[in-house]
Structure 1
């Protein structure tokens, strides 16, 4: 991320409470114009909730507090018209299950045209022409013939491409991709990742890539935030986290990845599960599963603090730093794309 880039979105002390249970505990996060940011962690860590809260997409029972600023404009607590002006136009979101996001009884062309009408005011022949251009941009073959087909007449990968086309209809400055490759096979997954990289290069939009697939994150992102139990526990560049993860949870995520080279070895799992938000430990939420936990970890919640190498880390007893030669070996062996 160059020094010339400015923050497009700023989240400050973002908290979410469902029926009296706090599930998001003060997220501080910046997204710069044009950058690609990854959010990783196990299911239930708060990755999707963070951005659903930022865009006002959570149900009415959710209490959202904190600050969400887009180019300095506050969204948290703003009136619905102000939020809808940003949502879809400045910030678009694609979801992991396109089959449930596309309307099954409407032709796909009509759905894209509707997005163009709402966000850019296009109608008639102009809207159809732009829809065909978007379908062609995201790699839908023979777009003019398939414009009037229904979602069930497309494959899963093509439905995801159509969702990306609808998201691009508003020419957003930021695209939030919420696990967009989870339901796809490996070949189609690689195609979607290549498409996201291509679109970012062509349009200059920023991307927030939410995933639990570290390999996918390394192909798309420049910076990564690791979340656990509603908090960010480590943040750094892809090179930093992949060559030298410092938080025990981040280290555990990498240890659980099978190696494709060398002898077959038993995986090293992270014991236990993500804690119930109703019964979080008093101190560090990861302490019951952490092999490096000491007494202080059970009583004091570590803040997310900047480190000498530029990353942010929330751990009083991080994994020891590796030597420069070891970090270079990991990069050479392909742990960092």
Structure 2
């Protein structure tokens, strides 16, 4: 990120351990005001843990170290009153399963009104009118009647829209969307992605989009960070990284994208699985699965270094620039067009 861009969030050396087992190994990440950043990687790479730790939402057994500054204010270790003012207000988070986040015994209207009361001091008729506006903004029809309905009376896609409405109640500067389309069918996924894009354009809020879906990330985000085994291994703009992935892991993710056109053919999977954090291999954590690994890869942990403006890479033997095949480029383009 350019030094001239105003930073909204600055994360430095963020580490997380559960019962002494390190799962995040020093995350450095900046988010600019109004920017959309994607976090991608396989399950277990640390995408969600990064932001749960940053917002102080991990259980008590978690040990968190480092620095998380939001508009220059240190968040880690801040008093509870300060945390509650920031969470849901300046920073809001939506999750992939809205059914576990909405209270089944309270009406939707009451839940949105509660958020408005806490973060904006609205009550009574003022809270109801604003809740109607938020429900309408996220595409809920007949808001006055449905204000008094319960979560089970809405579809999965509508529940996700309602979670977004609750997140917007505090007028956040940053919205963190943690795989918000995973449990939805393809049509509803597209609608939610379009909604996130339009809301960002309308409100000017920054967005962090956590996903394993590279096509979705390409639609929503301007910049993308690839995570593996609790570390960022590659970072760049969507245009540059999708056109020229340099880390073998990033390249493997692109090679595994299925083609929706053309003849049927086998996918090219990444061999093996994400390593157990209790038994990380020496050196580069990806080296046991990497077709380009050399002896040095199993001995030294490559640092995350700049390889150009806005590009960072942690790899001893990166994929040669522009080595991506025409076939893979076609699959990437298909994903970006979805």
Scaled to the shorter chain, the TM-score interval is: over 0.9
- How far the C-alpha of 1:323 sits from its partner, in A, is 6.9
Q: Corresponding residue for 1:226?
A: 226
Mean alpha-carbon deviation: is it higher for 253-262 or for 101-110? 253-262
Residues 89, 119 of structure 1: 8 Å contact kept: yes
Structure 1 residues 7 and 318 mapped into 2: Cα distance closer, same or farther (>3 Å)? same
Q: Corresponding residue for 2:117?
A: 117
Distance in 2 (alpha carbons) for counterparts of 1:121 and 1:275: 47
- How far the C-alpha of 1:5 sits from its partner, in A, is 3.4
Which runs of structure 2 are paired with 1:217-296 in the superposition (5 Å)? 217-296=217-296
Structure 1 residues 26 and 38 mapped into 2: Cα distance closer, same or farther (>3 Å)? same
Distance in 1 (alpha carbons) for counterparts of 2:332 and 2:317: 28
Which runs of structure 2 are paired with 1:122-271 in the superposition (5 Å)? 122-271=122-271
Partner SS, residue 190 of structure 1: helix
Residues 242, 336 of structure 1: 8 Å contact kept: no
Is 2:47 aligned against 1:24? no
Deviations 1:249-288 (A, max 9, x none): 0000010111123222110000110000000011000011
Is 2:105 aligned against 1:98? no
Q: Corresponding residue for 1:55?
A: 55
- TM-score normalised by the chain length of structure 2: 0.96
Deviations 1:263-316 (A, max 9, x none): 221100001100000000110000110000001110100000000354100001
Distance in 1 (alpha carbons) for counterparts of 2:166 and 2:310: 37
Mean alpha-carbon deviation: is it higher for 9-18 or for 309-318? 309-318
Residues 243, 331 of structure 1: 8 Å contact kept: no
Deviations 1:34-90 (A, max 9, x none): 010000000000000000000000001101000000111101111111111111110
Residues 216, 336 of structure 2: 8 Å contact kept: no
Partner SS, residue 49 of structure 1: helix
- Unaligned runs of 5+ residues in structure 1 are none
Distance in 2 (alpha carbons) for counterparts of 1:263 and 1:330: 13
Partner SS, residue 126 of structure 2: helix
Distance in 2 (alpha carbons) for counterparts of 1:23 and 1:150: 38
- How far the C-alpha of 1:242 sits from its partner, in A, is 1.1
Distance in 2 (alpha carbons) for counterparts of 1:308 and 1:333: 24
Distance in 2 (alpha carbons) for counterparts of 1:188 and 1:39: 21
| 4+ residue segments displaced more than 6 Å | 323-327
Distance in 2 (alpha carbons) for counterparts of 1:220 and 1:333: 15
- How far the C-alpha of 1:244 sits from its partner, in A, is 1.1
Structure 1 residues 332 and 122 mapped into 2: Cα distance closer, same or farther (>3 Å)? closer
Deviations 1:7-48 (A, max 9, x none): 100000000010000000000000000010000000000000
Structure 1 residues 103 and 172 mapped into 2: Cα distance closer, same or farther (>3 Å)? same
Distance in 1 (alpha carbons) for counterparts of 2:293 and 2:324: 26
Distance in 2 (alpha carbons) for counterparts of 1:276 and 1:2: 35
- Unaligned runs of 5+ residues in structure 2 are none
